[in-house]
Every structure is written in structure tokens, then in C-alpha cells.
Structure 1
Amino acid sequence: MAELGLNEHHQTEVVSYMRFARSKRALRLKTVNSCFQELKESRLVDETFTMDEVSEMLDGLQVVVHSEVESELINTAHTNVLLLRQLFSQAEKWYLKLQTDISELENRALLEQVAEFEKAEFTSSNMKGNPETHKPRLAPLNEGGSLELLNKEIARLLEENEKLRARLRTIESQATSALDEKSKLEKALKDVQKIQGDQKANFKAQEINELEKTVLALKTEFEKSLHDSNVNKKCLEENLVSSKHDLLRVQEQLSLAEKELDRKFQQTAAYRNMKDMLTKKNDQIKELRKKLSKYEPEN
């Protein structure tokens, strides 16, 4: 017997739906046949018909057949929707989400497989008789099969929950180890910072001592330079005073020497002669001026 790749229960459900579809299809075919039979009995009573009469009869038959076929197609589509609704509703009670592939509905290979399955199934069914009285139904949720499925789902969830708990314990252990490692690193960092702080303090103290020594040396040198400068200044002042005294003494001696020289020069004969000559010359100049004044015209 041809198979559809389903388990026995689902394959039985498919056979049940196909039986329902076959009965609906047979009923619609009977309706279409009755349309043709009615046309034969009601209109085909004369031996000859005109073209217009034949065309009118065919148009009327087309309308009736079109209506019947359209009604059957619409009813089939709605029936399929109701079937899908049953399946989806049952799946939603188990929190499942089913998916359909519309493109597979036109797969010729699958359609031929279904046709072979239908042919084989209903050929054997006709040989065995009508099994309508043994038609199975979808198992209710409170029956054994559903309860077993529920128990399996609960067991799966419990197992998954246990795995999550184990993973959580592992993560907590890793987190604890990480926190311990972090504490150790923080302590080590503080120790290093403390050592660096002590080293910096020692370095600063040493640097301050060196600066103090340098400042003290500069201060000592400055004081020595200042003392030497004061000593030199005092010596210079003393030398200046002594030089001033020497200068005054020399100036005084020079003045006395000039006076003595002048006195001695005045006592010489040449000085006296020169003085007499200058006196005579002055007298002569005065006399000449008087004479000249007599000859000058009066203004």
C-alpha cells in the first residue's frame, strides 16, 4: 500500500478526510450529470434545432454547470479552512506553532503520490467493505495519548530546567571565582600603590634634603660673599678717606708752593721791571686816548 510518510494515526485521519472529499465530489458530479439529463429531457424533444436554439441551450447549461462547479470549489476551500482550524486549535492548546508551505500544494510528484495513495486505499477499502462505522476521530485532550504527550513535555521541561539549573550553578561558581580573583587583584594593586607611595615619599624626602643642602650651601656662599664685599667696601672707604686726606694735603702744599713761588717771583728784578714797563705803557695809552679824544668830531 502506498504511504504518505505519516504515522498510522495521522494516515488514518488523511484517509477519513479523503473519504469525505470523495463523497462530496461524487455528490457534485451527480448534480452536474442531472443538469445534463434535465436538459435532455426538457429541451431535446424535437428532431431538429436551429443554431440559435442550440446556442441558447448550451449557454443555459453553461450557467448551471458554472454555478455548481463554483459552489463546489468554494465549499471545498471553506472545508479545508475548517480542517486547518481544527489542527491549529489543537496545536495551540499545546503552545505549538504550525507552518504550511503553499508551494508544495502544486508539487506534481506529491500530487501523483496522493493520487496513488487514494487509488490504492479506496480500492482496498471497496474490497473490504464500507469502514464508515469504524471512522476514528481526533483524540480529546483528556485521553491517554494526550496525557502521555503532556507527561513527555513536562519531563522535557524538567530536564531542560535541570540543565539550566546546572548551568546557573556553573555560572555562579565562575562568578564567585571571578570575584575572588578580582579581590586578590585589588589587594595586590593596593599593595603596589602603597609601595609606590612609600618610594615616592622617600624620594621626595631625599630630594628635599638635597634641596635644603643646596640652599644652605648657597646661603653660606652668599653670606661669605656679602662679608667679603663688606670688608672690601670698608677697605675702599678707608682708602678713599685716606686718599681724600692725601689730596687735601697735596692741594694745600701746592697752594703754599704757588704762593711761595708768586712771592719769590714778585721779589725778582725782572718782575719789577716788567711791572714798571706795564705801568708806563698803561699811562702812555691813557695819554694817547686823551689826545685822540680832542680830535674826534662832536656829534
Structure 2
Amino acid sequence: MTLTHDILCIGSVLWDVIGRTQHPMRIGSDEPGRITRLPGGVAMNIAMTAQRFDLRPALLTAIGRDAEGEDLLAECGARGMVTSYVYRPPGLPTDVYMAIEGPQGLVAALADAHSLEAAGDAILAPLEDGSLGSANKPYAGVIALDGNLTLPLLSDIAGRPSFADADLRVAPASPGKARRLAPLMGHPGATLYVNREEAGYLANQRFDNALEAAEGLLAAGANRVLVTDGGSFAADGSKLRGVIQTPCPAVRVRRITGAGDTFMAAHIAAEMAGKNPAEALAHAQETAAHYVSGEDDT
């Protein structure tokens, strides 16, 4: 099969509505700031960062047939993403993520991914019907999979023959959804991307740093993990070669939403370009630091 893409991004593609202010925030605060609406969602954030490294992503997701969905699909197409495999469920609205960020970081957020969850395994049809793969001819490329899918569906994916040969890169959508990744920890082709808090949820223990978290997840049964810890060290743990770590460059934090997805996409792109584990980890840390600094804002 001749593919028209380099990486398959499965999961949430939605509108990010983000309010940012430079004023301290608390419950009940009403401050001046800026509100933006941009394409977002874990799968979309990974896809957009992958494009920066000359990779063409294809999307497997659910996007509504409402006006917001038409706008979002057009935006994805205009960015050069392959959208021909997107599931368009009738009667379901396009998903949205809403967050408020202050100078101290994320203040609060709500993720409405109900349409993606309701669509279920319908979004995976191209991997089963021969369009991208099937149980007899599993997809053998790189898949970025996000934890906005339901636990039953992620559990199903862990055992699906159509995913058996994939280079599967997995990330939770949020700390609260981290435990959904547990069925994929033992998948032989899976690499999990989590932050230190998410690692704690997955392993049911508290970790003081990324190195400890990577070691703890390997001990809990993971084959490979990448653990970030904000502006501190990040770690890459593998059952085959142990754990390495690298520091994060010091930058002024101007935004938070999407930082983990940026790290993940930059790391995947670096490995696809042939960088060794230490080089890929450093590259991902540098890319994520540049992102949170806001230096590439236009």
C-alpha cells in the first residue's frame, strides 16, 4: 500500500478556546486577558508539531457535521493534513476544550470530548477495512494515540491484531485520564508519554522526579516510557537499555496548553529522522521549552 502520510494521529481533534492573562487568578477572579480559538486536541497538537518537522500527518478522529466542524475540517485541510479518514458522525457536535491560564500556569480547564467518546471504534474503521490496514495486514507505521478514547476502546486496541505491528506512541489527554493507558503498558510496540503526575496515577505511587517515574513504570510492566517534569529533567526509560535523562532549558513560561503534545511530537520526529535516544530526548526538551516560552507566536 502506498501511503500519503508519514504518521497517523488518532484521537481528539477539536477547538481549543484558551483565555490567557498576566494577572494572578483565583476562584471568582475576573481579569482582562486574551481569548483565542485555535485547532487543538491531543491528536491535532501532535499533528501540527509533526508538520513543523516535515512530516505529513493523517487524522483518525470524529468531527461533527455542524458549522464548527466544517470550519475545523477546513482548517485541518488547509494545513496539509490528510482528512479523508475522518469520521463525521451525524447528530453529534464538534468537541471543544476550554482553559484559563494565568502567570502561574493553568488555572482551570474543561475538555468536552463526548463526541469522540460516543463515536467509539467507528473512527478506527480504516485500520480494519483495508484502507490503512486490517487484522490480516496490520498497519506497520507510526501511530500517535491519545487517551481521550474510552478505557474499553483503549483496552480493545491493546489486543487488536490490526495494531500488532504498529510503532504505537501513546499519551493521556490529562492526568485524570492517565489510568486509561494501563492496558497499553504491556503492548510490545507501545511507548508511553506521560508527565510525572500521570506516571504516579499509572503506577499507583508518588514519584519525586522523572527518573524515578520512568523506573517505576518499567517496574510496573511498561516496555518504554517518556516522562516529563515541567521545567526539570525528562527521562526516557526502556526495558532493553534502562533509563536516561536530560534537563529542560530554562525559559520564561508564557503558555502551558499543548506543551506535552509538542514534546511528544518533537521526540517522535527526531527518532524518525534517525536521532539516537539521547539526541531525541534533548531535541524534544528544547522544542517543548521553546513552545512554552511563546517565542514562535505570530
Q: Give the TM-score normalised by the residue count of structure 1.
A: 0.19
Larger of the two Rg values belongs to structure = 1
Whichever structure has more helix as a proportion of its residues is 1
Structure with bigger RCO (C-alpha 8 Å, 6+ apart): 1
Q: Give the TM-score normalised by the residue count of structure 2.
A: 0.19
Whichever structure has more strand as a proportion of its residues is 2
